[in-house]
Amino acid sequence: MEQTTNAARHEAGAAPEFTEPLHVGRPNLGDRDRFRQRIEGALDRQWLTDGPLVLEFEEALAQVAGTTYCVAMCNATAGIQVAARAGGLVAGDEVLVPGFTWVATAHALDWIGIVPVFCDVDEASGTIDPEHAERLVGPRTRGILGVHVFGHPCEIDRLAELAARHDLVVLYDAAHGIGCTYRGLPIGGFGAAEVFSFHANKYVNSFEGGAIVTNDAAVAHRARAMRNFGITPDRKVAFPGTNAKLTEGAAAMGLTSLESMMDFAAANRDNHGRYRAGLAGVPGISVRRQAADEVANHQYLIIEVDAPVAGIHRDRLHELLTWNNVLSRPYFHPACHQLLPYADRPERYAPLPLPRSEALADRVLALPTGTAVTPEDIDRVAGLIRRLVPNAS
Ligand code: T4K
């Protein structure tokens, strides 16, 4: 069997498939000269944080998101916290979140005393299941924080209906969502606010960074102040606040990266197609798709490993790929509610088990994509997977 062959090669000290590591999450950089010019401008102005580049970045983001307001943030984790506060949520409130997400979704709330209550997800989309969410609404439930996981939009209309029935604040963790649509409209303008991430390994990056986008003037006003110690434009401390400002250097990178977003989209789309072709017919291996009929950013290349059909578990495939210098990542495993801080207190956080979140977390594996990956790399990764899957002919 190929799996045995590969393991044997490993033990025999044979060479891995790639001599250099092939990463998931290599940054999409854009035009370096434009970046350098912007940095020079900031140095010349001697204005290093929360200045003209941040404003320009906010305007460009609002345009992409189709929103009236955008408030840039130092990262999406702080963005979710500020959006929650600006949206009126306070410590002790309970907010419904999906079990299948990156831990930041839950941590952002928990860190400010808001209790994340984990709901199960729809397995096909990976997003929060509105029906399960509704069953979990209790006397302290005040909000829903949906996640457009891997750029797949939540069931926004159903969540809006649910929220209206129970008077809940709806927020979206749109860390993966920039450049995607829901029913033809850009992700960004739904709920009370949505939050993008521009971490280095995101589709659009600003080294670290994030943004709150909204059409609600009051939410935007509070968020802008809360990002800066609660200080309003007239220099009054009107709200409790934090320091979550974005630097000019980060905005320079964000603007540069955003300018090339359509090039990144094209590269990701081509990569996606090439992986699909390369992995077609491999038993038990499927490439996840973003929503049909929507604009997708294909930011993540996620395969699902059906272990009984493939003859190999995701964890073993991950191990063998890693040995071959393909640094795949099991995004997102374990499921968020199974992580130590939450699994320890299921009575507070989750009605366990959440079988669909757990099943997804057990099957997914992110493969390298983005502008740093070449078509030849993809052919070699697909060929390698084909050899590693025992039940492939
Ligand atoms: N909500 C969701 C659904 C999220 O996925 C995230 C973040 C958030 C909220 C919070 O957003 P931020 O507060 O971060 O803005 C990473 C990131 O730290 C995290 O931002 C991201 N999601 C998550 C999916 O991935 P790690 O621990 O896997 O990343 P790290 O630093 O080990 O990097 C992964 C790979 O990326 C490396 O193996 C190589 C590559 N890389 C990374 C960096 C930083 C580079 O090539 N260059 C780089 O500079 O968590």
Query: Is 86 domain-assigned?
Result: yes
Judged against a pLDDT cut of 60, whether residue 30 lies above it is answered with yes
Report residue 86's pLDDT band, with 50, 70 and 90 as the boundaries.
very high
Judged against a pLDDT cut of 70, whether residue 22 lies above it is answered with yes
Residue nearest to atom 14 of ligand 1 (CA): 199
Task: List, for residues 211-235, the tens digit of each pLDDT value.
Answer: 999 999 999 999 999 999 999 999 9
pLDDT value for 13 = 62
Residue nearest to atom 28 of ligand 1 (CA): 329
Q: How many angstroms does the Cα of residue 303 sit away from the middle of ligand 1?
A: 18
Which residues have CB under 6 Å of ligand 1? 23-27, 75-77, 101-102, 104-105, 147, 173, 175-176, 197, 199-201, 210, 327, 329, 331
Q: How many angstroms does the Cα of residue 319 sit away from the middle of ligand 1?
A: 20
Contact status, residue 175 vs residue 104, Cβ threshold 8 Å: yes
Judged against a pLDDT cut of 60, whether residue 12 lies above it is answered with no
- Verify that 51 and 188 share a domain, yes or no: yes
pLDDT value for 1 = 41
Distance, in Å, from the CA atom of 373 to the CA atom of 40, rounded to the nearest integer, reads 30
- Verify that 266 and 250 share a domain, yes or no: no
Query: Is 349 domain-assigned?
Result: no
β-sheet bridge partners, residue 172: 146, 194
Q: How many angstroms does the Cα of residue 199 sit away from the middle of ligand 1?
A: 6
Judged against a pLDDT cut of 80, whether residue 271 lies above it is answered with yes
Judged against a pLDDT cut of 50, whether residue 2 lies above it is answered with no
pLDDT value for 290 = 84
Among 243, 259, 275, residue at a domain's last position: 259
- 245 is known as an active-site residue: no
Q: What is the mean pLDDT of the segment spanning 118-139? A: 97
Report residue 375's pLDDT band, with 50, 70 and 90 as the boundaries.
very high
Task: List, for residues 323-373, the tens digit of each pLDDT value.
Answer: 999 999 999 999 999 999 999 888 888 777 999 999 999 999 999 999 999
Top-confidence residue, 12 or 332: 332
pLDDT value for 7 = 55
pLDDT value for 356 = 98
Judged against a pLDDT cut of 50, whether residue 318 lies above it is answered with yes
Among 259, 292, 313, residue at a domain's last position: 259
Among 230, 259, 288, residue at a domain's last position: 259
Per annotation, catalytic residue among 85, 152, 202, 224 = 202
Q: Which ligand 1 atom minimizes the distance to the CA of 331?
A: 24
pLDDT value for 126 = 97
Distance, in Å, from the CA atom of 78 to the CA atom of 259, rounded to the nearest integer, reads 24
Residue nearest to atom 8 of ligand 1 (CA): 104
Residue nearest to atom 34 of ligand 1 (CA): 25
Residue among 77, 127, 197 to mutate when testing ligand 1 (max atoms within 8 A of CB): 197
Residue ranges making up the domain that contains 274: 2-26+261-328+368-388
Q: Please, what is the average pLDDT of the chain?
A: 95
- Verify that 6 and 51 share a domain, yes or no: no
Contact status, residue 172 vs residue 194, Cβ threshold 8 Å: yes
Cα–Cα separations (whole angstroms), residue 173 to 13, 187, 212, 242, 266: 44, 10, 10, 19, 24
- Verify that 119 and 149 share a domain, yes or no: yes
- Verify that 194 and 46 share a domain, yes or no: yes
Query: Is 250 domain-assigned?
Result: yes
Percentage of the chain with pLDDT > 90? Answer: 92
Q: How many angstroms does the Cα of residue 201 sit away from the middle of ligand 1?
A: 5
Judged against a pLDDT cut of 50, whether residue 3 lies above it is answered with no
- Verify that 254 and 378 share a domain, yes or no: no
- Verify that 36 and 161 share a domain, yes or no: yes
Task: List, for residues 65-84, the tens digit of each pLDDT value.
Answer: 999 999 999 999 999 999 99
Q: How many angstroms does the Cα of residue 200 sit away from the middle of ligand 1?
A: 7
**What is the pTM assigned to this prediction?**
0.96
Contact status, residue 57 vs residue 258, Cβ threshold 8 Å: yes
- Verify that 21 and 149 share a domain, yes or no: no
Backbone angles phi, psi at 226, to 5 degrees: -65, -30
Residue among 24, 128, 172, 201 to mutate when testing ligand 1 (max atoms within 8 A of CB): 201
pLDDT value for 264 = 97
Query: Is 227 domain-assigned?
Result: yes
Q: Which ligand 1 atom minimizes the distance to the CA of 209?
A: 15
pLDDT value for 350 = 79
Task: List, for residues 140-185, the tens digit of each pLDDT value.
Answer: 999 999 999 999 999 999 999 999 999 999 999 999 999 999 999 9
Task: List, for residues 279-303, the tens digit of each pLDDT value.
Answer: 999 999 999 998 888 999 999 999 9
Contact status, residue 65 vs residue 188, Cβ threshold 8 Å: yes
pLDDT value for 14 = 77
- Verify that 58 and 95 share a domain, yes or no: yes
pLDDT value for 291 = 84
Query: Is 341 domain-assigned?
Result: no
